Structure 1
Amino acid sequence: MILDLLFPNHCIHCNRIIDPELLICDLCLTQIHFTHYNYFESNPIKEKCSLFFPVENAYALIQFEEEGLSRQIVHELKYKSREKAGKILADWTIERLEFKDEKPDLLMSVPLHPKKLKERGYNQLHLFTETLSSFYNIPFNHQLIKRNHYSKAQALKDKQHRLESVNTFSITQPITGKHILLIDDVFTTGNTVSSVAWEILNAGNNKVSVLVMAVDI
């Protein structure tokens, strides 16, 4: 309480003082471009995924814009130690995404390499995934797949290098006959999601759907 008075939380965009649990103020929230995609119907991210692997359903929460607030939010989460932003993004997702009677069997987020995890101190997708898991009552598994190679941030790579990843991930546990919802932060080329998806599909008679925080296509 005293710390909140001495060091109040500010909106990352306009710098207004806001509740300690928030990331942006209500006014700035109106500037975020939510996708309004239908998880069960054709949409841009599902169409892009289907070019690379058999995808069941797909959803993106917000549009990723290089000069927009969405980019600022994702960068706060990934590079500025604002892990709690993951819960806020999950809460926004919960307000907009309904699985009806077709819930996936398991939530799985794209892993970091152990070296990158040590550098960052947390996986930016874990709190997001765990918040969704709790609300929808769907189990999650953070150990099902591992990243085999350490690499610099995707945001710092040029497009060609992003497309050159080979054998980036591998399955660590037997899994078959499951519908897995694969979770990532930003969908750009689809290379990362595709690499993980094929590991899941090749592991057994599994199905893959995709959920990302932001889409840039």
Structure 2
Amino acid sequence: MILDILFPNRCMNCNQIIDGNLLVCNICFEQINFTHFEYSQDNYIKEKCKLLFPIENTFALMQFEKESLSRKIIHELKYKNREIIGKILAEWTIERLDFKNEKPDLLVTVPLHPKKLKERGYNQLHLFTETLSKFYNIPFEHDLIKRNHYSKAQALKDKQHRLKTENTFSTTRNIEGKHMLLIDDVFTTGNTISSVAWEILKSGNNKVSVLVMAIDA
């Protein structure tokens, strides 16, 4: 209570004092560009993924425009030690995502390299995924995919380096006959998602769908 008075929660965008469970004020919330994608219908991510690997369904919560509030939110989640943002983004996703009759069997997160995980202290996808798992009653696995190489942040790489993802990932065990929902934070070129997806597809008679927090189109 005293901490709430001394250090009140403030809107990430305009600095207005807001409820402790909120991320932004109501006015700034209206500035977030949500995608309004339908999970089971064609959308931008699905068209991009089709060029890279066999894809079932896709969903993105927000657009990731330059200097946008969504970009600031993702940056705070990943680099400012605000893991709780993942739970809030999951709640926003739950309000907008309907699997209908194509509910996946398993939620799978894109991993960090152990060194990066130690530096950051958490994987920004874990709380997000666990919140979705609880609501939709879908099991999750954070350790099915292993990142084999340590690399600098994706945002700091030039385009040429972002395209080099060969042998970056591997599966930790074989898993067959599952429809897996692959979860990542931002979809850019699609090469990271594609690398993970192919490892899942090679593992057995599996199907892959994709869910991301934001799309950089």
Using the size of structure 2 for normalisation, the TM-score is 0.99
* Cα displacement string for residues 149-169 of structure 1 (whole angstroms, at most 9, x for unaligned residues): 000000000111000121000
TM-align CA RMSD: 0.6
- Identical aligned residues as a percent: 76
* Cα displacement string for residues 48-106 of structure 1 (whole angstroms, at most 9, x for unaligned residues): 01100000000100000111101000000000011000001000000000112321000
CA distance in 2, matches of 1:102, 1:43: 16
SS at match of 1:108: strand
CA distance in 2, matches of 1:142, 1:18: 33
Amino acid at match of 1:142: H
Aligned to 2:3: 3
1:46-195 matches, within 5 Å, as 46-195=46-195
CA distance in 1, matches of 2:21, 2:3: 13
CA distance in 1, matches of 2:105, 2:215: 24
Runs of 4 or more, structure 1, over 3 Å off, are none
Size of the aligned set, in residue pairs, is 217
CA distance in 2, matches of 1:101, 1:131: 21
Unaligned runs of 5+ in 1: none
CA distance in 1, matches of 2:157, 2:78: 16
Amino acid at match of 2:73: I
Amino acid at match of 2:33: H
Q: CA deviation at 1:2?
A: 1.4
Asked whether the equivalents of residues 40 and 102 of structure 2 are also in contact (C-alpha less than 8 Å), the reply is no
CA distance in 1, matches of 2:35, 2:74: 16
Amino acid at match of 2:202: N
Unaligned runs of 5+ in 2: none
Amino acid at match of 2:168: T
CA distance in 2, matches of 1:189, 1:156: 14
Asked whether the equivalents of residues 23 and 85 of structure 2 are also in contact (C-alpha less than 8 Å), the reply is yes
CA distance in 2, matches of 1:5, 1:150: 42
Structure 2 residue 193 is the aligned partner of structure 1 residue 200: no
CA distance in 2, matches of 1:38, 1:57: 9
SS at match of 2:161: helix
Q: CA deviation at 1:23?
A: 1.2
SS at match of 1:134: helix
CA distance in 2, matches of 1:56, 1:103: 11
CA distance in 1, matches of 2:110, 2:55: 16
CA distance in 2, matches of 1:12, 1:36: 23
Aligned to 1:213: 213
Amino acid at match of 2:18: I
Amino acid at match of 2:90: A
Asked whether the equivalents of residues 187 and 214 of structure 2 are also in contact (C-alpha less than 8 Å), the reply is yes
